[in-house]
């Protein structure tokens, strides 16, 4: 395409479709007058079909002048056919006087301009041609830029979206579709609100966006199509038109789920390592004086034989010394990395055996047991006895959290994506949110007389199997432990 914006003498190739040779001569004469900066050549074709074929298949022409009246055809049909074929050559329609509706229709179809026959002169014709070519070049550049940025939008590894003022999705890239599990058509039917796990969080996000016209590093849990929660960060900004009016909001979503999981696993590992260090120090520093204490107590017992008061106090000392010994032993066991005696197991079989161990306790407390085990789950390599210990701790905690004769214990297995899931649900007293984070901490317990090491040991076992455990609870409603295994590990 010719560039006529550089101030140098330029050749412009014009194609004229007109079935009247006299009109061709007039146009050619007018164009010959424009010889200061422009060298213009004209190719004339009176036949509609030939002209359509030439312009469609050739890219040598810079602009096409089209007469409206072409026998059985007209200029609007020509313009429409060209545009439908994807040809974007600049077009100027030559019309008769009083054809305002035709002129308007031509512009709608993609003509750059229209001129009234018998009225325009050489200067007007030249100006119209220069405008049409420049406009076409600008449109092409805009389209190229749009295509470039559209490509960046579509190929970005970051999830990007555009929502309207009502927060309905109006555009989304494939990364967002993959992140949330929706197809593009499905996303266009929902709002940003539908993707938030917490409506309270959405309300705050909406308020901040409306107030500041942008939101930076907003941490939130988003829900996928299959109700899986993702830890994400959203950055969003308002989009304004030429009148400084907001017409949409654009945002980028970063998935932090894997990073959060890694941070959580690192924290657990650090806690277990610290517990192990404390346990080893205590075992070294406490067991020696404890041994001396027990020896002295036995010696003292011989000296004060047949003294009931002394016997009572000695028994108290003995019981507490034994408890200290048990505590140290439990600490060492709970924090020590588990050596696995692995074998191919079916998780349903492991749970059935664990439930059998707790059956008497379930009956004594009048607990209703519900199981929903998915058949034909994949087998995987694991230490069966250790998993039974881990599940046993969780199930016993659930049983003891429920009221007698009112409790419902539900244990489920199923596949979620590629993960094998075990869920243990109870309708017990629930756990306050601030305590959930401490559940697996050493010595944290809500039970009188408990050491607070059962769930620490459970998490240590599950970590050894590269399993993930999550806890959801609501006070007065109940608690759900969700354990996910990757059977391919």
Q: What is the 3-state secondary structure (H, E, C) of the chain?
A: CCCCCCCCCEEEEEEEECCCHHHHHHHHHHHHCCCCCEEEEEEEECCHHHHHHHHHHCCCCCEEEEECEECCEEHHHHHHHHHHCCCCCCEEEEECCCCHHHHHHHHHHCCCEEEECCCCCHHHHHHHHHHHHHHHHHHHHHHHHHHHHHHHHHHCCCEEEEEECCCEEEEECHHHHHHHCCCHHHHCCCEHHHHECCHHHHHHHHHHHHHHCEEEEEEEEEECCCCCEEEEEEEEEEEECCCCCEEEEEEEEEECHHHHHHHHHHHHHHHHHHHHHHHHHHHHHHHHHHHHHHHHHHHHHHHCCCCHHHHHHHHHHHHHHHHHHHHHHHHHHHHCCCCCCCEEECHHHHHHHHHHHHHHHHHHCCCEEEEEECCCCCCEEECHHHHHHHHHHHHHHHHHHCCCCCCEEEEEEEEECCEEEEEEEECCCCCCHHHHCCCCCCCCCCCCCCCCCHHHHHHHHHHHCCCEEEEEEECCCEEEEEEEECCCC
The CATH architecture annotation of domain 260-335 reads Orthogonal Bundle (1.10)
**Residues 330, 333, 334, CA angle at the centre, nearest 5°?**
85
Report the 10 Å Cβ neighbour count for 286: 15
Residue 13: phi and psi, rounded to 5, are -100, 120
**Which pLDDT does position 454 carry in this prediction?**
62
Return the pLDDT at 343.
92
Q: What is the pLDDT of residue 7?
A: 47
Domains of the chain, residue spans: 10-152, 156-255, 260-335, 343-485
Q: What is the predicted pLDDT for the residue at 272?
A: 65
The CATH label, of 3.30.70.1890, 3.40.50.300, 1.10.580.10, 3.30.565.10, for the domain at 343-485 is 3.30.565.10
pLDDT of residue 451: 46
At 459 the pLDDT is 83
Residues 6+ apart with CB under 8 A from 224: 179, 180, 181, 230
Q: Which residues of the chain register pLDDT less than 70?
A: 1-10, 35-38, 97-99, 143-146, 149, 265-284, 327, 330-339, 441-454
pLDDT at 410: 96
Residue 449: per-residue pLDDT: 47
Confidence at residue 177, expressed as pLDDT on a 0 to 100 scale: 93
| Angstrom distance (rounded) from CA 188 to CA 162 | 10
| pLDDT for position 196 | 95
The 10s digit of each residue's pLDDT in 279-291 is 666 666 777 787 8
pLDDT at 345: 94
Question: Beta strands 73-74 and 246-255: pairing type?
Answer: unpaired
CATH architecture of 10-152: 3-Layer(aba) Sandwich (3.40)
- Specify whether the CB–CB gap between 467 and 477 falls below 8 A: no
At 444 the pLDDT is: 54
Buried b (16+ CB within 10 A) or exposed e, 403-412: eeeebebbbb
CATH number of 156-255: 3.30.450.20
Q: Which residues does 72 contact at the CB level (< 8 Å), separation at least 6?
A: none
Residue matched to tokens 């789950």: 377
In this structure, the dihedral spanned by the alpha carbons of residues 103, 105, 110 and 112, taken in order and rounded to 10 degrees, is: 10
């Amino acid at each position: 395409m010719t560039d006529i914006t550089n101030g140098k003498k330029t050749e412009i190739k014009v194609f004229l479709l007109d079935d009247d040779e006299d009109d061709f001569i007039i146009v050619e004469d007018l164009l010959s007058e424009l010889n200061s900066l422009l060298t213009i050549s004209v190719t004339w074709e009176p036949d509609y079909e030939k002209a359509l074929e030439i312009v469609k298949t050739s890219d040598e022409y810079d602009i096409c002048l089209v007469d409206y009246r072409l026998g059985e055809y007209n200029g609007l049909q020509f313009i429409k056919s060209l545009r439908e074929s994807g040809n974007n050559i600049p077009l100027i329609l030559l019309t008769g006087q009083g054809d305002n509706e035709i002129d308007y229709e031509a512009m709608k179809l993609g003509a750059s301009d229209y001129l009234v026959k018998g009225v325009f002169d050489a200067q007007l014709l030249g100006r119209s041609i220069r405008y049409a070519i420049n406009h076409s070049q600008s449109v092409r550049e805009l389209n190229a830029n749009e295509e470039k940025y559209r490509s960046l939008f579509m190929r970005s590894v970051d999830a990007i979206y555009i929502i309207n003022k009502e927060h309905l999705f109006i555009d989304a890239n494939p990364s967002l579709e993959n992140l949330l599990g929706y197809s593009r058509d499905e996303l266009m039917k929902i709002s940003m609100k539908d993707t938030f796990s917490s409506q309270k969080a959405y309300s705050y996000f909406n308020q901040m966006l409306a107030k500041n016209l942008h939101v930076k590093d907003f941490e939130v849990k988003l829900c996928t199509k299959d109700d899986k929660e993702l830890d994400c960060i959203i950055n969003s900004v308002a989009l304004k038109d030429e009148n400084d009016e907001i017409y949409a909001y654009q945002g980028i979503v970063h998935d932090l789920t894997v990073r959060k999981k890694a941070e959580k696993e690192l924290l657990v590992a650090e806690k277990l390592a610290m517990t192990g260090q404390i346990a080893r120090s205590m075992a070294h520093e406490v067991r020696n004086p404890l041994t001396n204490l027990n020896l002295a107590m036995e010696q003292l017992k011989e000296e004060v034989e047949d003294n009931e008061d002394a016997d009572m106090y000695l028994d108290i000392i003995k019981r507490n010394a034994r408890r200290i010994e048990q505590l140290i032993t439990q600490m060492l066991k709970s924090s020590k990395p588990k050596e696995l005696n692995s074998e191919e197991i079916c998780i349903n079989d492991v749970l059935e055996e664990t439930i059998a161990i707790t059956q008497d306790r379930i009956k004594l407390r009048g607990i209703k047991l519900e199981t929903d085990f998915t058949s034909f789950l994949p087998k995987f390599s694991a230490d069966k006895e250790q998993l039974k210990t881990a599940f046993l701790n969780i199930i016993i905690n659930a049983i003891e959290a429920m009221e007698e004769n009112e409790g419902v214990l539900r244990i489920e297995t199923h596949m979620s994506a590629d993960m094998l899931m075990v869920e243990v649900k109870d309708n017990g007293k629930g756990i306050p949110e601030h305590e959930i984070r401490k559940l697996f901490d050493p010595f944290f317990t809500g039970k009188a007389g408990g050491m607070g090491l059962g769930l620490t040991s459970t998490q240590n076992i599950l970590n050894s199997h590269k399993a993930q455990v999550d806890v959801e609870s609501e006070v007065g409603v109940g608690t759900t432990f969700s354990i996910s295994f990757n059977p391919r590990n």
